[in-house]
Amino acid sequence: MEATKKLNARAVKKWMGDNAIVVLMLIVSLVVGIIHPNFFAPTNIINLLKNVSIRYIIALGISGCLITTGNDLSAGRVAGFAACLACIFAQTEGAAGKFYANLPTLPTPVVFLLVIAICAVVGLCNGLVVSYLKVQPFIATLGMQQVVYGICLVYTGGTPIGSLNKGFTSLAIDTFLGIPVLIWIALIVALCFWFLYNKTRHGKYMYAIGGNEAAAEVAGVNVTATKIRIYILASCMFGLAGCLMAAKSGGASVNTAMGYELDAIAACTIGGVSTTGGVGTVPGILVGVGVFELMKVALQFMNVNSSYTYIVQGLVIIVAVAIDIRKYLAKK
């Protein structure tokens, strides 16, 4: 009996240690909610879920890279570039300062498809550089981050783009069965990723590469093709998120989504995606994104200066990765 109690106590202690950030953030959110009743107001919860939806899509995109011991630091810039492209294609006809004066207003599905296709090319470039040139993903995607930012600056001239048609921006306003369309889109994407990661050969290959790339290759896994698919899919998700951001904000600039890749990496790590590879789940990533966004909203309600928010976010990233590495070392 005593042995069972000791075992249970040890298991609880281990779980608390592995999920310290999640527990701490939930406690802080609960305290803030008690002090500020508006924290749990329906309007605030809906806004929080909308923000989580977009961040979740970016985090899902980057998760495949992390699971295979890679990374994608171009995520924020690709999403920002996608937002700018979406705004250009979705501008209202006759709007003052229209980017292409003679370009008709494109249907919303066409805008999404065009933007995602362009972003897929960026992902293909990342995948080829990582897989064929054997450049470390950190370096390859950091370089692509600067390339995409430069292209966006040259293309847009650094000018904010707005005057979007109502059909496009309604995505951020419309509801279905009382739930915002943005949340439905994120749920559909999450279901697709869950199926991809758990029920397909691609998912099995991805986890195998993350667990032991050399062993996976010996077992017949096409490592090169799998990695290329992962980076293409990641950029497609960044493109989708960029379009949704443009619809939600009603415009975009070159600095849209700047730094979102770090938030996504932190959220994935908090949610159980290991930076050492081979581990990560779709529901876990949702928990990570939700906790990270809760933290930011809680800090706003506490009237913490936005400058200090960056310090807290940075510390959370460091602690999350440190806990992840500690778990990895404990298994060895």
Count of alpha carbons within 13 angstroms of residue 159, beta-carbon side: 11
Q: Is the pLDDT reported for residue 178 higher than 60?
A: yes
Residue 178 carries which DSSP code? T
Classify each residue of 241-279 as buried b or exposed e, where b means 16 or more C-beta atoms within 10 Å of its C-beta: bbbbbbbbbebbbbebbeebbbbbbbbbbbbbbbbebbb
Characterize the bridge pairing of strands 175-176 and 179-180: antiparallel
Share of the chain above pLDDT 70, in %: 89
**Dist CA 249 CA 176 (whole Å):** 20
**Torsion sign, CA atoms 29, 35, 39, 42:** positive
pLDDT-derived band at 2 (thresholds 50, 70, 90) equals low
Q: What is the mean pLDDT of the chain?
A: 85
The enclosing H or E element of 273 equals none
The residue-averaged pLDDT of 287-308 equals 82
324 burial (CB, 10 Å; 0-12 / 13-18 / 19+) is buried
Residue 288: its H or E element: helix 282-301
Residue 60 has pLDDT above 90, yes or no: yes
If one compares 143 and 320, the residue with the highest pLDDT of the two is 143
DSSP E strand boundaries for the chain: 175-176, 179-180
For the ranges 210-224, 244-258, 285-299, which has the lowest average pLDDT? 285-299
**Tokens linked to 105:** 């207003």
**By the 8 A CB rule, do 165 and 91 touch?**
yes
Backbone angles phi, psi at 175, to 5 degrees: -125, 160
Range 23-331: architecture per CATH? Orthogonal Bundle (1.10)
Which is nearest to 306 in space by CA: 292, 293, 296, 315? 296
User: What does pTM read for this prediction?
Assistant: 0.90
Cα-based torsion angle of the residue sequence 175, 177, 181, 183 in order, rounded to the nearest 10 degrees: 130
Rounded distance between C-alpha atoms, residue 231 and residue 210, angstroms: 14
Q: Are 259 and 74 in contact (CB under 8 A)?
A: no
Q: How far apart are CA 101 and CA 166, in angstroms?
A: 18
Q: What stretches of 40-90 adopt beta strand conformation (E)?
A: none
CB neighbour list of residue 170: distance below 8 Å, 6 or more residues apart: 247
| End-to-end Cα, the chain, rounded Å | 30
pLDDT, one tens digit per residue, over 234-283 is 999 999 999 999 998 888 888 888 888 888 988 888 888 887 778 888 88
